[in-house]
């Protein structure tokens, strides 16, 4: 099992838009095949860093998941919302594996 951590650099004046975007993935990510852990918006400290975290079986499963996500109508709508509102400045992904229990 791998965990995907997505680090977002967001517009600090558009946290509300990021939160709307994050809620848009609540049902879509699990429906497309990943185990959503959650999305995290700034609260204290940096106002520009947010995270999305989900589990996926392996990198082959990730590729299939991404294809399903691109084809999902709600997923496409959420991607279009982020593009139109332009509140995400940067997005970085890293895949980690758990080594302790």
> Residue 84: its pLDDT value, please?
98
List b or e across 36-65, with b for residues whose CB sees 16 or more CB atoms inside 10 angstroms.
beebebbeeeeeeebebbbebeeeeebeeb
Q: How confident is the model at residue 92 (pLDDT cuts 50, 70, 90)?
A: very high
Domains along the sequence of the chain with CATH: 2-96 (3.30.70.100)
pLDDT, tens digit (0-9, with 9 covering 90-100), for 7-23: 999 999 999 999 999 99
């Amino acid at each position: 099992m791998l965990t995907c951590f997505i680090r977002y650099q967001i517009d600090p004046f558009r946290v509300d838009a990021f939160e709307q975007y994050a809620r848009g993935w609540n049902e879509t990510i699990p429906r497309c095949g990943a185990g959503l852990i959650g999305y995290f918006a700034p609260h204290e400290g940096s106002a520009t860093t947010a995270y999305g975290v989900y589990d996926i079986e392996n990198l082959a499963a990730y590729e299939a998941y991404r294809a399903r996500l691109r084809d999902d109508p709600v997923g496409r709508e959420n991607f279009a919302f982020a593009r139109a509102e332009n509140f995400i400045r940067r997005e970085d992904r890293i895949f980690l594996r758990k080594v302790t229990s």
